[in-house]
Structure formats: structure tokens, C-alpha cells
Amino acid sequence: MRILLVEDHVELSHWLAKALRDANLTVECAATGADADALLHTQDYALVILDLTLPRMDGLEVLRRLRARGGARARTPVLILTARGGLEERVQGLNLGADDYMAKPFELAELEARVKALLRRSSGNEALVHQCGALSFDTVTRMFRYGDAPLALTPREHAVLEALIGRQGRPVSKEKLFAEVFALDDDANLDAIELYIHRVRKKLERVQENGAAITTLRGIGYLLQPRPAA
């Protein structure tokens, strides 16, 4: 899942982005309110983590513009993460449409838990565990198991499989997968998705009984479904 981190403190931004990427999230960063506003005009994100005290546009104004824009992007979940933790500003942020509010300093474990909860809620599927044959994905721990063991995946393989299992039984286009797996500043093109699909397929082939498989639907996308019995 691709999220936007809006934070002007360089060291904090780098540290937090690394922690979120280690949790198998695709992270893009913006250091100013104006940059965040421009990205939110054109890009789709599963979540925005938004500081309030930003150069070139206050975070509350970024939030106000996002919610006023209309359409699907206007419903993007927003978690405010700021040193401005007074009651008045909390109320103002929530009234403008923030989905959650955390004050700095914060504990990383709590932030990660809140991020997971918001992503789970916004996915439109409240199931805690997605199952496809012997493949399961726990939306709380964000871990895959296959058969009787954890499934070892790189962060991008994880992102591909998470996007597919969250829409199990429905095709996912190559463009949609690319948007969820790669950040804007990644040096990759659309065809890179085929490489990660190939790698995930090889790992899914290791379980023969009650396994899962990725089917390519030419011109449509990719479909995750239980592998037919031999």
C-alpha cells in the first residue's frame, strides 16, 4: 500500500519512512504543504500521515483542500502527526476531516498500530485474515503464511501479493499494482510488475496441495485464486 508522509523535519522523515517501509509499505515523502497539496491533486494514496507546521502551506489547509476536492481522493484517510497537540487544534483537525490525531513525541509501535487500523478500515474489508487456499494474510500483523509456515517475501513482493489478496477473485490491473508497489521517485517502469509477479508465482508454486495461484488476464490484469486441484 502506498502512503504519503508529509513531514518537514528531514531526520524524522527519513527515520519514519524507513520504519514504514520495513513494515512493507510503499512510502512517498513531501516536505512542504504545497508539495503535499500538489501530490494529493494527482496521486492516489491509501493513507496520508500529515504534520501541521509545514512551510509553504499549513497542514490544516492541506487537509481542508483535500476534503473539499470531492471524489475518491477526498476520502483518503489522514492521520495527523504533530507537535501541536492542544485540545483546540485536535478538535479543529478532526472537524476538518482527520481520521486520527497523534501528538509528538510518539511511540513508533503505537503509530504503526494506528496506521494498520486505518488501512484496514479504509480497505472496505474488515476481515482480520484474508484466506486464499493455503495462503493467509493477517491484516493486523500484516504477515503472510503459506501452508504451515510464514511466507518470506521482499517488500515489493509483499506489496504485490497484499494488493491481490485484498481483492481476491477480482482482477487487478498492472497500472494499479504499479501504483501500490512503487513510489513516484522509484526508478522503475510499468513492466517491472511482471518481474515481481513472476517471483511471487514461483514462491506460491512451492505448496502443491490447496495452493494459491496468480492468473494473468491479458489486457485486464492479474487474478489471485485458489489453485485448481490436480
pTM to 2 decimal places: 0.75
* Three-class SS state of 16: helix
The answer to whether 48 and 6 are in contact (CB under 8 A) is: yes
pLDDT at 229: 67
Beta bridge partners of 192: none
Site of grid cell 493455503: 134
pLDDT at 3: 94
How does pLDDT run across 104-120, given as a tens digit for each residue? 999 999 999 899 889 88
Least confident of 52-56, 61-65, 116-120: 116-120
Judged against a pLDDT cut of 60, whether residue 43 lies above it is answered with yes
19 CB-near residues (< 8 Å, 6+ apart): 108, 112
pLDDT at 88: 85
pLDDT at 90: 86
pLDDT at 129: 85
Judged against a pLDDT cut of 60, whether residue 122 lies above it is answered with yes
pLDDT at 23: 86
pLDDT at 104: 92
pLDDT range class, residue 167, cuts 50, 70, 90: confident
How does pLDDT run across 127-154, given as a tens digit for each residue? 678 899 999 998 878 889 998 899 999 9
pLDDT range class, residue 186, cuts 50, 70, 90: confident
Higher pLDDT, 23 or 126: 23
Judged against a pLDDT cut of 70, whether residue 15 lies above it is answered with yes
pLDDT range class, residue 228, cuts 50, 70, 90: confident
Please name each of the domains of the chain with its CATH number. Answer: 2-122 (3.40.50.2300), 129-226 (1.10.10.10)
Torsion from C-alpha of 143, 146, 149, 153, nearest 10 degrees: -50
* Three-class SS state of 145: strand
pLDDT range class, residue 227, cuts 50, 70, 90: confident
* Three-class SS state of 134: coil
pLDDT at 125: 54
C-alpha cell recorded at residue 119:
488501512
